[in-house]
Structure 1
Amino acid sequence: MSDNAPSPETAPRSLSQGGALASLALSMLLASLGTSIANVGLPTLVLAFGASFQQVQWVVLAYLLTITALIVSVGRLGDLLGRRRLLLAGLALFTLASLLCALAPTLGTLIAARALQGGGAAIMMALTLALVGETVSQARTGSAMGLLGTLSAVGTALGPSLGGVLIAGFGWQAMFLVCVPLGGLAWALGYRYVPGDRQALSWVRGAFDPLGTVLLVLSLLAYGLAMTLGRGHFGLLNCGLLLAALVGVGLFVRVEGRVAAPLIRLALFRDGALSTSLATSALVSTVIMVTFVVGPFYLAHGLGLSALAVGLAMSLGPCVSALTGVPAGRVADRLGARPMILAGLGAMLVGCLSLALLPTGLGLGAYLASIVVTTLGYATFQTANNTAVMSDVGAAQRGVISGMLNLSRNLGLISGASLMGAVFAATTGDLATASAEAVAGGMQVTFAVAAGLIATALLAALACQRFWRPMASPL
């Protein structure tokens, strides 16, 4: 036998790890695909159901809001009931809901099925990160996180083109049906290869916090609605929902400080490492959303590109993210999280500043070069930040911490779409009549604000002395 040949024990272990990672990566791909593939189908659904765009947009909102509202709670359930067990249940729910979406006879039924699909996606997103620690060694955590980030970016980038092809060839039902065999494959791989739960079932009376869970879900739902309804134009309904979210969070904090087994232990936020990671993740996600909110308007109205050219230019960012994740994870495994996180934030700052100061005469090439730098920094930061947090988390809290990481990212994306979109609209004026110079000026102001947010994140990371050290006590 050759010295390089795998031993009888190593080969099955490598196969098991590969199969488990394939299941986790496919789960992340499906969760991100579920968002982006539905966006491209909204005009078709308007015609299919004879509904308004405001009604049809709930096909997307129901999915996003359900993920945002449930992701921390399902992470905690995974810690209690077993992460492998709950992941398989989430994959089954996602797959079944995808089939129900395709078979929906009415728009209301489709929206309800999409909410169920979002529940499955919340489980998948929360537990894939948590299960990395039980699947690969700590020395390979960065590579695994990079793979998950890559598949998430691939799902985001693939959705519009795949959805368009499926709708054109087979009808709108096909964009949901495609998730059924993929979900079944992810479930089969997970059932076969994802390692069994190491901890015994710990569901006992008082182990779960139902009141805290309800308060958090309602608060997150109210915030998500406040940020998404009205497309960045805040009215009385938005203000009322935002006030309800703030009151709900206050009640949630009060409850968590009194119950024996809280959903989120408030003491976690005393740890500078975790608090800084969550805060910077939210800020970075808020900024990256600017590229999707402002980009199409600047490319179309500021540079005068056709719809096809705009679509091709917008696909560059997700492609850069897809290509960056795995290499960034490998470098993080070798050099550690600190330099990679600082490099990611630094690259984002350079990219945003170049966009804020970009002379309009430089044209498309300069814009795309800045987007590449910004997106490269984002992908690097996310991979390294997730690695830093999940490497230091105790096994008993991996689910809830993974849920909090995903929640910080989702809240950043939702806030970015609303708040940064409002900044762009306020500085540009009426987009229907705005000149190319006005659109370019609005883009520069918006990215200047984004650069300020990234500078804040970078300063916070540098100021937190414990940010890069293992957490003082197991979570």
Structure 2
Amino acid sequence: MKPVIAERGEAVAERIPSVRWALASLSLSMLLPSLGTSIANVGLPTLAQAFDATFQDVQWIVLAYLLAITTLIVSVGRLGDITGRRRLLLIGILLFTLASILCGLAPTLWLMIAARAVQGLGAAIMMALTIAFVSETVPKAKTGSAMGLLGTMSAIGTALGPSLGGFLIAGLGWPAIFLVNVPLGVLSFVLVHRYLPADLSKGKANRTSFDTMGTLVLALTLSAYALAMTIGRGSFGPLNIALLLTAVFGAGLFVFTEARTASPLVRLAVFRNPVFSASLAMNLLVATVMMATLVVAPFYLSHALGLDQTLVGLVMSIGPVISILSGIPAGRLVDRLDASFVVIAGLVAMAAGSVAVAVLPGITGYIAAIAMLTPGYQLFQAANNTTVMADISPDQRGVISGVLNLSRNLGLITGASVMGAVFTFSSGAHDIAAAHPDAVHSGMRITFAVAAALIVVALAIATGTCRSRRALGES
């Protein structure tokens, strides 16, 4: 029996570093998409000058990337379930890396925008499949810690982008903000190929067909909604309304299509699960609120508190730094406590932080509020992601991860438009840049009062779901 025991011991010894390297590969796959967003934002003024283009035109460098992620993330998640997640993740990393090279070498703005759309496709694959892989590579008891680590890596990418982008542009020129992804992409490809579990081969009889019609309808629907929320710079004109109506019609058509498809892109039955539907709704509401901190805070800090751009950037970096520090502890807390309890605790902290932003005066009050709001967000994210992915069947992990990411992206898009509009309306000024400091301060208070109300709604959903689960458990 000794040789058998020795073999088992060796297997366990080999598995521990493998899990660590697998997590390293997933972490890098999560960092690159968030870095791809934040590092491009800081380069927009330089790119407008380099291509002799208007700011509205160069904004499509960011929009093309975000639109590709939003419209395709569910579809690529489902494609991974069908064709093999490791294979598709490698393709996604390759697309992201090659598109980064094209962006750095692009001779015209529109070629740059096209390359960014391809980069967004690669990012969508990486974001959808990274979370789906957690259940396959990490023991169930450590799922919360893994989700917290991925949240930390996403925060690092967001926080690192502006400073790294500014340094690269100043030292090497704007192509460097895209070419920096190339060595990271190569490293990510090697780690995924080496340490993530290989796809199980499926016979032709067991292969599921891909829902092309559902994919097309969903992509067009999400494109219409995203454009309705982003074009017009906060004002809702006839084009925005037409796009929004198109999105509503498209959503109905998508439901109709999926209900009559033998192999649907998304099984509509999953939305009858109250825990899953509640998690998506909460994810959307929370992302809407977090986007308000990015959209509204710079105007408040500069125009109401009178900080210069250097100080604004420094204060704005506090939130991402707190996210980096709190992500892993939040995940470990999820492993030790009931995930639904951690969701509620995170939302309570976010509600308190939102109220604090609205009522606490000055720069000290703002920092104190962010110090409550941001850890609450990390607690919620780690616990909510763990809850959603806990009992998903292996053949649905990719698409469910895609839907989870989609709800977050829709919240970010909605928050940028709706919370920005609330801020503008409540300040009583058509041009925030020219508004009186008191008006900006008033707009900030009202905006975060609305944000607190949205978190209270999410909290009501969480507590209601928790009670329902307990009732089912007792019965």
**Normalising to structure 1: TM-score of the pair?**
0.95
Q: Which residue of 2 aligns with 1:452?
A: 453
Q: Which residue of 2 aligns with 1:417?
A: 416
Aligned mate of 1:146, from 148, 151, 168: 148
Q: CA deviation at 1:8?
A: 2.8
Q: Which residue of 1 aligns with 2:348?
A: 346
Residues 82, 208 of structure 2: 8 Å contact kept: no
Number of aligned residue pairs: 464
Aligned partners of 1:446 and 1:276: how far apart in 2?
24
Residues 461, 467 of structure 1: 8 Å contact kept: no
Q: CA deviation at 1:9?
A: 2.5
Aligned partners of 2:150 and 2:78: how far apart in 1?
21
1:295-350 CA distance string (max 9 Å, x none): 00110011000100000000011111111111111110111212211110000001
Q: CA deviation at 1:207?
A: 2.0
Q: CA deviation at 1:394?
A: 1.2
Q: CA deviation at 1:204?
A: 6.8
* 1:202/1:57 CA distance change after superposition, 3 Å: farther
Aligned partners of 2:28 and 2:335: how far apart in 1?
22
Which amino acid in structure 2 is aligned with residue 452 of structure 1?
Answer: A
Query: Among the aligned pairs, what percent are the same residue?
Result: 61
Residues 338, 468 of structure 1: 8 Å contact kept: no
Q: CA deviation at 1:466?
A: 7.0
* 1:305/1:17 CA distance change after superposition, 3 Å: same
The residue matched to 2:197 in structure 1 has which SS? coil
1:68-90 CA distance string (max 9 Å, x none): 00000000001001111111110
* 233-242 vs 60-69, which moves further: 233-242
Aligned partners of 2:18 and 2:30: how far apart in 1?
19
The correspondence of residues 45-64 of structure 1 with structure 2, limited to 5 A, is 45-64=47-66
Q: Which residue of 1 aligns with 2:363?
A: 364
Aligned mate of 1:24, from 26, 42, 67: 26
Q: Which residue of 1 aligns with 2:183?
A: 181
Which amino acid in structure 2 is aligned with residue 280 of structure 1?
Answer: M
Aligned mate of 2:105, from 103, 106, 113: 103
Aligned partners of 1:197 and 1:327: how far apart in 2?
32
1:412-435 CA distance string (max 9 Å, x none): 000000000000001111313321
Q: Which residue of 1 aligns with 2:3?
A: none
Q: CA deviation at 1:208?
A: 1.5
Q: Which residue of 2 aligns with 1:291?
A: 293
Q: Which residue of 2 aligns with 1:3?
A: none
Q: Which residue of 1 aligns with 2:82?
A: 80
Q: CA deviation at 1:451?
A: 0.6
* 252-261 vs 11-20, which moves further: 11-20
1:33-62 CA distance string (max 9 Å, x none): 000000000000011111111110100000
Which amino acid in structure 2 is aligned with residue 37 of structure 1?
Answer: I
Q: CA deviation at 1:236?
A: 1.1
The correspondence of residues 262-411 of structure 1 with structure 2, limited to 5 A, is 262-358=264-360, 362-411=361-410
Gaps of at least 5 residues in structure 1 are: 1-5
Aligned partners of 1:118 and 1:444: how far apart in 2?
35
Gaps of at least 5 residues in structure 2 are: 1-7
Q: CA deviation at 1:357?
A: 2.3
Aligned partners of 1:453 and 1:353: how far apart in 2?
11
The residue matched to 1:464 in structure 2 has which SS? helix
Aligned partners of 2:243 and 2:453: how far apart in 1?
27
* 1:376/1:192 CA distance change after superposition, 3 Å: same
* 16-25 vs 425-434, which moves further: 425-434
The residue matched to 2:433 in structure 1 has which SS? coil
The residue matched to 2:146 in structure 1 has which SS? helix
Aligned partners of 2:471 and 2:44: how far apart in 1?
46
Runs of 4+ in 1 over 4 A off after TM superposition: 201-206, 465-472
Q: Which residue of 2 aligns with 1:463?
A: 464
* 1:19/1:44 CA distance change after superposition, 3 Å: same
Aligned partners of 1:372 and 1:199: how far apart in 2?
48
Residues 388, 468 of structure 1: 8 Å contact kept: no
Residues 26, 150 of structure 2: 8 Å contact kept: yes
Which amino acid in structure 2 is aligned with residue 68 of structure 1?
Answer: T
* 1:415/1:455 CA distance change after superposition, 3 Å: same
The residue matched to 1:305 in structure 2 has which SS? coil
Which amino acid in structure 1 is aligned with residue 344 of structure 2?
Answer: L
Q: Which residue of 2 aligns with 1:257?
A: 259
The residue matched to 1:92 in structure 2 has which SS? helix
Residues 340, 466 of structure 2: 8 Å contact kept: no
